[in-house]
Structure 1
Amino acid sequence: MSTQPYQQLFHVLQAIAEIPELEINKLSSIFHPVTLTAGEHLIKAGEAPKTIGFVLSGLLRLYYLDNSGTEFTKSFCLSNEFIAAYSALLLNQPSRLFIEALEDTSLLVADYTDYQKITQEHHCWQLEHTPIKVFEIIAPLVDTPMTQGRGKGKIQPDDLVEEFWRNFSRDHYEMLIGKSKLLYLLQRFLPHLAEKIMRPGL
C-alpha cells in the first residue's frame, strides 16, 4: 500500500487499533478509487447498496424525502470517515437514503461482502484490546418523519431507545430490536417467506 489514498486509510485504521501490515494489505486490495463531482450521488433511495466507502476528501450529505417530496438532511460525512447506507446493507434492502456529494469528493470504495469477510477473519478487526466498542443494531421501521406512510407495525423511538440501552448496558454487541428478532429467524429457516414480508415492509 504505497500510494497516498491507501496510506490515508492506513493511518486512520492504525489510530483505532494495531493492525498488522498483512491485514491492511488485504483490505487495500478490495478498495478502489471513486471520484464524485458536486451534485453526484454515491447511492440513491430505492437502490440496493453493495459497497462501503472511505472518504479521502470532500463532503457528503445523507438525506431522505418524505411523502410530499420534502428533503430532510440526516447527517454529513467528512474526510477520514467511512460511509454507507448501513441499515439497508445489513438488512439487504433498498436504501431509503440518498448520499450526495456536496463538493467534489474522492473516496475508496469496496464491496461490503468482501469487506465483511476480511474483517471477520482476524482478531485485530474486533477491537478487542482497545477502548472502542462497536454495536450492530438491526431494528424494524421506526416511527419518524422519514418513514411516514411506509410500512406498518413501526416501533416507537422511545421503545427503540429503551431496548437499545438494555442491550448496551449488557455489552450485547449484536442487537436485534423488536420484530427484527422474528425476521432473523425467518431469514434463517424460511428465507422465501422473509423476503415476501420484507417487500411491503415490516
Structure 2
Amino acid sequence: MFEQLYQSIHENVTLTDEEWKFCKNSFRPKRMLKRQFLLQEGDVCRQIAFIEKGALYSFSMDEKGTRHVMQFGFEGWWIADLHSFFTETPSTLNIEVLEDAELLLIDHKNHNKLLKEIPAYEKYQRIIMQNAYVALQQRVENALGRTAEERYCRLIERSPQFMNRVPLNLVASYLGMSPETLSRIRSNYSG
C-alpha cells in the first residue's frame, strides 16, 4: 500500500525521503468491501480518503429515494465531502464502496499538520484542489449546456473506465438522465 499515493504526490511535487516518511505516517490504511459506506448523510466527514485500490462514489438522496451521483473515485483519486470536512458540519452526501477498496485516510489534524510542516505537500494539495475545481466546473458546464448524447460521449472519451467499472444506472445518474435514456444513447453510439 502507499504506491498510488507516492506516485500521485511525486507526479506533482518532490518530497524528500524524510518528508515522505512523515507524510506516510500521517495516513491510516483501511480496507473496505463493496457496498460498505465510508460516509453516510448526517455524519460529519472526519477524514479525506485517497484510493489506493478499488472504486467509490458519492451521492445524495432525494425525498423519493433516488440517488443523485456526484462523484466517482478510482485508484489515485481522492474522495470526501469536502464541505463537511472543512466546516465540520453534517454531510449531505453518502460515500459508498463500489469495488472492494484499499484506502488511505487522513484526518483534519494530520492534514493540517502536513500542510503546515511540508510546503511541497501544501503545493500538492493546492494542485489537487485546482484540478478538482476545474473538473467540477466542466461537469456543471456539461450538465447545463450539452445534450444527453453529448454528455455521454464526453464521459466515455475522457473516462472510458466508467463503462467497464460502474453500473449503468449509476452512470445514468451521474450524467443526469434516466437509465432508459442512457440505454437508447448507447445503442445508437458508434464510438
Give the alignment's TM-score, normalised by structure 2: 0.62
Matched, 1:80 2:76: yes
Matches of residues 133-144 of structure 1 in structure 2 within 5 Å? 134=130
Amino acid of the residue matched to residue 54 of structure 2?
G
- CA RMSD after TM alignment: 2.5
Amino acid of the residue matched to residue 12 of structure 2?
I
Match of 2:92 among 96, 119, 127: 96
Aligned to 2:99, the other structure's residue is in SS state coil
Aligned to 1:103, the other structure's residue is in SS state strand
Q: Which residue of 1 aligns with 2:37?
A: 41
The 8 Å contact of residues 127 and 133 in structure 1, kept in 2 or not, is answered as no
> How many equivalent residue pairs?
132
Aligned to 1:13, the other structure's residue is in SS state helix
Q: Which residue of 1 aligns with 2:56?
A: 60
Q: 1:33: Cα distance to partner?
A: 1.5
- Residues in 1 aligned to 2:36 and 2:27: alpha-carbon distance in whole angstroms: 20
> Could you tell me the percent identity over the aligned residues?
23
Match of 1:110 among 99, 106, 115: 106
Q: 1:65: Cα distance to partner?
A: 0.6
What CA deviation, in whole Å up to 9, does each residue of 1:70-100 have, x standing for no partner? Answer: 2111110000111111111111101111000
Match of 2:119 among 117, 123, 127: 123
CA distance 1:133–1:82, change in 2 (3 Å): closer
Aligned to 2:29, the other structure's residue is in SS state strand
- Residues in 1 aligned to 2:110 and 2:45: alpha-carbon distance in whole angstroms: 14
CA distance 1:131–1:125, change in 2 (3 Å): closer
Unaligned runs of 5+ in 1: 138-202
Q: Which residue of 2 aligns with 1:51?
A: 47
The 8 Å contact of residues 46 and 108 in structure 2, kept in 1 or not, is answered as yes
Amino acid of the residue matched to residue 71 of structure 2?
S
- Residues in 1 aligned to 2:129 and 2:110: alpha-carbon distance in whole angstroms: 22
Q: Which residue of 1 aligns with 2:4?
A: 8
Q: Which moved more, 1:84-93 or 1:111-120?
A: 111-120
- Residues in 1 aligned to 2:127 and 2:58: alpha-carbon distance in whole angstroms: 28
The 8 Å contact of residues 60 and 76 in structure 1, kept in 2 or not, is answered as yes
Q: 1:135: Cα distance to partner?
A: 8.8
Q: Which residue of 2 aligns with 1:23?
A: 19
Unaligned runs of 5+ in 2: 134-191
Aligned to 1:19, the other structure's residue is in SS state coil
- Residues in 1 aligned to 2:122 and 2:25: alpha-carbon distance in whole angstroms: 20
Aligned to 1:96, the other structure's residue is in SS state coil
What CA deviation, in whole Å up to 9, does each residue of 1:129-160 have, x standing for no partner? Answer: x98874999xxxxxxxxxxxxxxxxxxxxxxx
Aligned to 1:16, the other structure's residue is in SS state coil
The 8 Å contact of residues 4 and 75 in structure 2, kept in 1 or not, is answered as no
